[in-house]
Chain A
């Protein structure tokens, strides 16, 4: 069953219907930890309701794509979870606590242009900033030793090295980040988001502006990290196809309504037509790709096939 919440009908969503979940999730015991939970959450920006009455429960280790037309509030949702935007109604809990800015257990990769080619700072320095870039003062080697801070610094360096190794960026992490390709930069930025060992990773269109080959490398990396480290991934995506095989569920933000469920349930002609309030046709190609037809003025999901 697809769960759809509408703005008009404010009935809370049913608890998760185990049968609707993919096999991997359905097997898991019902005591699975809820890492993100929203209750009738809504956001207004400049007097306009971006989305409202959004209720959801997201579990540890899930890989979820956030889809929807431009302006549906996908990036806004990530910013709310980061504590950078306040809710106008309802509540959101991150790891059982109210949202707070600068939570080390939440990693973030903003929608991004790449670094300018003249940025002369090493990739590993950019990763390191994710760990201690918010701290005031500069560590002085002599002072550090007085209160055993050297150990701390060594641990930090080891962690940076470890995470760079994890994303497979070791052989170019010492080079200025501006000289690296888009895919290489993106891998280092994922390392930066992972360096604090977050439980949740919020990614805003990480595959945008990458070529097909790098899209595959980066999405495989994100899936691997999500599985190996039990990190919950919320990824805003324009095109669902490159990550379709990795996804557990899809959160679809439509006009005044949202739907959360498996791709098979949500990305259907019926559900999308309901979300858009317009006739939408979803086609599935023989190799499993999804093509969405009829979205008014929005970018389709199958930009590759254009």
Chain B
């Protein structure tokens, strides 16, 4: 499955032919479909994750999927079910363990992270060694190995995640920015925090299929972080975040198809490159704006 197709497909100047090549194989159609669904959920959930500074929680929920997928495979179930099950379980566990503190879930998250990695170690031993391919694809993603059977759960997860997020969007934004006033206004802040962790677990479980446990932040953090650099309008920012996640996924898949190198590398590289570019542009813009205002005030600019 991980064999390169670079020998058989050639990139040309004929865009239509390139696109035809790109979608010639069923596995690529599946990859694009799954990638699109995952990017939709990851981009939207990622916005709130970055806003709430819960990257560590996202990381832990991804790691919790690792023993989840291994354990499910051991028992003969689909790894996707294990990913989602363990992710949601870890989300609830973090929520319960950190229920008493208003903030600083850090220790609760760390405890869950360590335990899930320990479980993962046990499951690797139990799964009779020579399953390194499965392990590898779990850690770094196997977007080219998305089967027809995987698409259903992925689509359902995206749908549930996006609909739930749309319903709670405003109170969640309020609770994320201003928890005390939100609580005084009757917003169920605690419940929303728990619900958001579950939504995050959904998005993470899906994304593991595409970019793997280790590269997950390329879709969850980077697009949202770039979007927040670009605009301070919440609705627009979510849109930009989703769009960027889609662009990174699509271009990563396309380039990965025409070259012998892994898709995950291209997705993370595009994300990283864009982030650096945006930061540099903004820094230059801020500097020139500051210089202009300094000139206006008659200051000497060196």
- What residues make up the interface of A, taking CB atoms closer than 8 Å to B? 82, 84, 101-102, 108-110, 112, 115, 118-122, 125-126, 129-130, 132-138, 174-176, 192-193
Report B204 CB to chain A, min CB distance, Å: 23
Interface flags for B156-197 (1: CB within 8 Å of A; 0: not) read 000000000011111101100110111111110000000000
Does B234 touch A at the CB level, under 8 Å? Answer: yes
Report A137 CB to chain B, min CB distance, Å: 6
**A137–B185 CB distance below 8 A:** no
Q: How far is the CA of A129 from the CA of B178 in the complex (A)?
A: 9
**B233–A133 CB distance below 8 A:** no
- Kindly identify which residue among A84, A125, A138, A174 contacts B169, using a CB–CB cutoff of 8 Å: A138
Q: How far is the CA of A301 from the CA of B166 in the complex (A)?
A: 48
- Kindly identify which residue among A115, A120, A129 contacts B229, using a CB–CB cutoff of 8 Å: A120
Chain B residues closer than 8 Å to A118, beta-carbon distance: 228
Chain A residues closer than 8 Å to B232, beta-carbon distance: 120-122, 125, 174-176
- Kindly identify which residue among B166, B187, B229 contacts A137, using a CB–CB cutoff of 8 Å: B166
Chain A residues closer than 8 Å to B178, beta-carbon distance: 126, 129, 133, 192
Extra 9 A-B pairs, beta carbons < 8 Å, given A112-B180, A120-B229, A126-B178: A109-B181, A119-B51, A121-B51, A121-B177, A121-B232, A129-B182, A133-B170, A133-B182, A137-B170
Contact A110 B182, CB 8 Å, known A122-B233, A136-B167:
no
Report B168 CB to chain A, min CB distance, Å: 7
Does B237 touch A at the CB level, under 8 Å? Answer: yes
**A134–B167 CB distance below 8 A:** no
- Kindly identify which residue among A82, A121, A136, A174 contacts B184, using a CB–CB cutoff of 8 Å: A82
**B177–A129 CB distance below 8 A:** yes
Chain A residues closer than 8 Å to B180, beta-carbon distance: 108, 110, 112
Contact A102 B234, CB 8 Å, known A135-B171, A137-B167:
no
Chain B residue nearest to A78 in the complex (CB): B184
Provide 10 A-B residue pairs closer than 8 Å at the C-beta atoms, listed in order of the A residue: A101-B185, A112-B180, A122-B233, A130-B185, A133-B187, A137-B167, A137-B170, A138-B169, A174-B232, A176-B232
Q: How far is the CA of A110 from the CA of B102 in the complex (A)?
A: 15
* B interface bracket (residues with beta carbon within 8 Å of A): 20 to 34
**B181–A134 CB distance below 8 A:** no
Report A130 CB to chain B, min CB distance, Å: 7
Q: How far is the CA of A119 from the CA of B51 in the complex (A)?
A: 7
Report B231 CB to chain A, min CB distance, Å: 8
Q: How far is the CA of A53 from the CA of B173 in the complex (A)?
A: 39
Which 4 A-B pairs have CB atoms at the shortest separation, nearest pair first? A102-B186, A133-B174, A120-B228, A110-B180
Q: How far is the CA of A101 from the CA of B187 in the complex (A)?
A: 9
Chain A residues closer than 8 Å to B181, beta-carbon distance: 108-110, 130, 192-193
Chain A residue nearest to B188 in the complex (CB): A134
- What residues make up the interface of B, taking CB atoms closer than 8 Å to A? 51, 166-171, 173-174, 177-178, 180-187, 228-229, 231-235, 237
**B170–A132 CB distance below 8 A:** yes
- Kindly identify which residue among A121, A133, A176 contacts B185, using a CB–CB cutoff of 8 Å: A133
Q: How far is the CA of A192 from the CA of B182 in the complex (A)?
A: 11
Contact A133 B184, CB 8 Å, known A122-B233, A125-B234, A126-B178:
no
Chain A residues closer than 8 Å to B185, beta-carbon distance: 101-102, 130, 133-134
**A136–B237 CB distance below 8 A:** no
**A119–B177 CB distance below 8 A:** yes
Chain B residues closer than 8 Å to A121, beta-carbon distance: 51, 173, 177, 232, 234
- Kindly identify which residue among A109, A129, A192 contacts B170, using a CB–CB cutoff of 8 Å: A129
**A133–B171 CB distance below 8 A:** yes
Q: How far is the CA of A192 from the CA of B233 in the complex (A)?
A: 17
Chain A residue nearest to B231 in the complex (CB): A120
Q: How far is the CA of A122 from the CA of B233 in the complex (A)?
A: 6
**A134–B174 CB distance below 8 A:** yes
**A84–B184 CB distance below 8 A:** yes
Chain B residues closer than 8 Å to A109, beta-carbon distance: 181
